[in-house]
A = this chain, B = another copy of it.
């Protein structure tokens, strides 16, 4: 159709650029200590831990995004905007990461972190759904996404994490870590269908 003229290569390259910047600028929040003792690193430990968690999250998204676009047949204008929408929410991860890092486990930062993760996950689901719909139900992607239990589960978990964080920020954070562990494994569904087709 008339909307399919966007090259997959350039949308991948642009997304890679933005994701590479997002994953790297978070380290700029690690403020150099003024002292010269090992103890001066202590206040940085929570910042470093929140950086590590967000690094894993952005890495997971890069990985899944990579699989998703690789399986996709074509990109339309609306799909390109769904992709930019995903990048917008991802770009807020460094901001909420810093807030958690500087204020430790307090309600508003942990809940805000969860909200950004939830919106990012929802934006990813939207992109995946639009790509699958565009390729059609009989396509690789249509079958792979099909009954997306992991995606739905993580949306539910993020919402639970946000709710929990309003009372117990630590439990909220623990739930976010759990979702990261679930997603750590690349999307086997897509991989399986792909490798079935390539004998």
Contact = CB atoms under 8 A, between A and B. Distances in A.
Interface string A165-199: 00000000000000000001110100110110010
Contacts of A136: none
B185 A6 contact: no
Nearest to A95: B30
Category for how many chain A residues contact B: 35 or more
A36 B22 CA distance: 23
B17 A108 contact: no
Given A16-B17, A25-B25, A38-B108, 6 more contacts: A5-B198, A18-B23, A21-B24, A24-B25, A32-B99, A41-B112
Interface in A127-152: none
Given A16-B14, A195-B5, A32 B98 contact: yes
Interface string A26-42: 01111011001110110
Contact of A20 (B17, B185, B188): B17
Contacts of A88: 52, 55
Closest 8 CB pairs of A and B: A17-B20, A36-B106, A21-B24, A77-B186, A32-B98, A36-B103, A59-B84, A38-B108
Copies in the complex: 4
Contacts of A24: 18, 21-22, 25, 91
Contacts of A55: 84, 88, 91
A contact patch SS = helix
A80 interface: yes
A94 B5 contact: no
A92 B195 CA distance: 36
A77 B63 contact: yes
